[in-house]
Amino acid sequence: MTHHDIPPALEAAARDRILVLDGAMGTMIQTHRLDEAAYRGARFADWPQDVKGNNDLLSLTRPQVIQDIHRAFLDAGADILETNTFNANRISQADYGMESLVVELNRESARLARQAADAVATPERPRFVAGALGPTNRTASISPDVADPGARNVTFDELAEAYREAAQALVDGGVDLLLIETVFDTLNCKAAIYAVEGLFDDLGRRLPVMISGTITDRSGRTLSGQTTEAFWASVRHAGPFSFGLNCALGAAEMRPFVAAAAKVADTRICVYPNAGLPNEFGEYDETPETTAGQIAEWARAGLVNVVGGCCGTTPGHIAAIAQAVAGIAPRAVPVIPPRLLLSGLEPFSVAAGDGEDAR
């Protein structure tokens, strides 16, 4: 049902095999133990606020670090690189007073990933770049104030504007796809979809869009309360290249929700779990073998089309995952008969002929 222009090379690769997405940018950056001065570089030496932890800024101040991480994931077998732009939007960058850098952050991050991908791509084995649009640090459908359920600290329009600015710069930087990821609030995601649809209309061309939600705990719901099936009903109008889940859980905990997505979505399924659940120090201990073993089982069960890793996953994890799914056929995208599909927190579906016996 996808209605975006999918590059023929991407279409062919996705038909041919299970594609591999890269692993965690943040945890890889942490291994470099960069201090405040390293984050600032010469250009931001006098910046009035602390910027350590603003990983997106490293695309400007430590581009080599970011390129090396991209290269390590490509060497491990990644087909699709994500840009270093998880927080490169006006709303998240406000924490550092760096809203004015958003366009440059996205454009440069896209360029770095593009350069890394093009350096190793061959006609037989093309590599692709997905422009990452993170969830922002605000939520459009949940009140930040316990005493006032109607309070909001961001509007739909503000989100849409922030997403539009980031997406435009990612496209200018040369990405192949846009990835609306780690969605914890469906309304934020709808603002992102609205923003990229408007951008495509203005550009006169459409890029494939990947949508990835995050199930916050074993209850199987997003933070804004939807089940995986209900989340699909809310976003399927975008005709995404892929739909799926990332973050929050390890592969073992994610299995039932991957199966649920595979059952309802008439598009490709993309899943990238964390390296297990964090330990008491907030670190991820799951070995590449364990993660890859779980994902291989999903692949054999015919549940996935694109797989990779989120928090805690290293090039070692991606290499193990790539090896584990090699040679296993991608999930066949099902043809689902047309029906009315609605959702609140749960899905509600009516097919032609439903309820006729009741008359």
User: Could you read off the pLDDT of 188-235 as tens digits, one per residue?
Assistant: 999 999 999 999 999 999 999 999 999 987 788 999 999 999 999 999
Spell out the residues 6+ positions from residue 94 whose beta carbon is closer than 8 angstroms to its own: none
pLDDT band of 270, cuts 50, 70, 90: very high
Task: Calculate what percentage of the chain has a pLDDT beyond 70.
Answer: 97
Confidence label for 356 from pLDDT (cuts 50, 70 and 90): low
Residues 20-62 have pLDDT tens digits of: 999 999 989 999 999 999 999 999 999 999 999 999 999 999 9
Contacts for 297 with CB less than 8 Å, ≥ 6 apart: 255
**pLDDT of the residue at 133:** 98
Give pLDDT, residue 2: 52
Contact 3, 24 (CB under 8 A): no
Give CA–CA dist 9/202, Å, rounded.
25
Q: What is the pLDDT of residues 81-136, one digit of tens each?
A: 999 999 999 999 999 999 999 999 999 999 999 999 999 999 999 999 999 999 99
Domains and CATH numbers, the chain: 8-358 (3.20.20.330)
Q: How far apart are the first and last CA of the chain?
A: 33
Is residue 183 exposed (0-12), middle (13-18) or buried (19+ Cβ within 10 Å)? buried
> What is the structure's pLDDT at 248?
87
Written as one string, the DSSP assignment of 7-19 is: -HHHHHHHHHS-E
Place of tokens 């905990």: 253
